[in-house]
Amino acid sequence: MIDNVDQLITDEMRACIGRAAPPVDLPEEISASDVRRFVDIVGETNMLYRDAEYAKQFGYKGRVVPPMVVVQMFRRIDDEEGKSSDWQSSDWLQLPLPKHYSVSRNAGHEFEWLAPVYVGDRLTIQQRFTDIYAKQGRAGVPVIYLVREVEIRNQHGQAVVRQTSTTAKLPASIGGVE
C-alpha cells in the first residue's frame, strides 16, 4: 500500500499536461435524417429540432441539432480501414502510467454548450490533457485520475461544445483483470 498517493504521479506524467491530440473531423455533415431518427427514438417533441422555419421564428439560423446528438456523432468515426476509431483513447498522450494501472473507468463528464449546432454543420473535435491526480479509492487502493478537455467546433471554427471528461485508472487486480 502506498502511504502518500501523490507519489504515484511522477514529474514525467505531469509533463504530459497540456498535450493535445490532433483534431478529428466528422466524416460528413450532420444530416436532417440523423436528427429525425434521434428525436423519434427519444420521443422529443421540441419543434426547434423538427422544423427549420419554426426555429427561425426564435432567432436560430435553421433547424437546431439536439445537444446530445452533437456529442454522440463522434462515436461513429471510423479509421481508414473502416474499423472503429480509437480517437477517444489516450494513445496520443503517451502517458507513462505505472504498468499495473491498466484498467480504465469513466469517472464523469461535464458539458458546456456554447453555441447552437444546425443541420448541415460539419464538426471537428479535439482533446487536450489538462490534469492528473491520485486519490485513495474506496477499496483502499490508490486511483489515478486523468482529466481531458474536449472541444467541438463547427465548420466556421466556432466552439460549440466544451466537455471535461475524467477517467479513473485502476490497478488490474482491482479492475477485474489479472
The confidence score (pLDDT) of residue 59 equals 97
Tell me the three state secondary structure of residue 117. coil
**Which of these ranges, 84-93, 109-118, 120-129, 158-167, has the smallest mean pLDDT?**
84-93
Q: How far is CA 48 from CA 32, 113, 125, 173, in A?
A: 12, 16, 24, 49
46 CB neighbour count, 10 Å cutoff: 12
Helix segments in 16-141, DSSP class H: 32-42, 52-56, 67-72
Per-residue pLDDT, averaged over 46-51, amounts to 96
Grid cell at residue 136? 485513495
pLDDT band at residue 84 under the 50/70/90 scheme? very low
Domains of the chain: 5-175 (3.10.129.10)
**Which of these ranges, 60-64, 143-147, 169-173, has the smallest mean pLDDT?**
169-173
Per-residue pLDDT, averaged over 131-150, amounts to 91
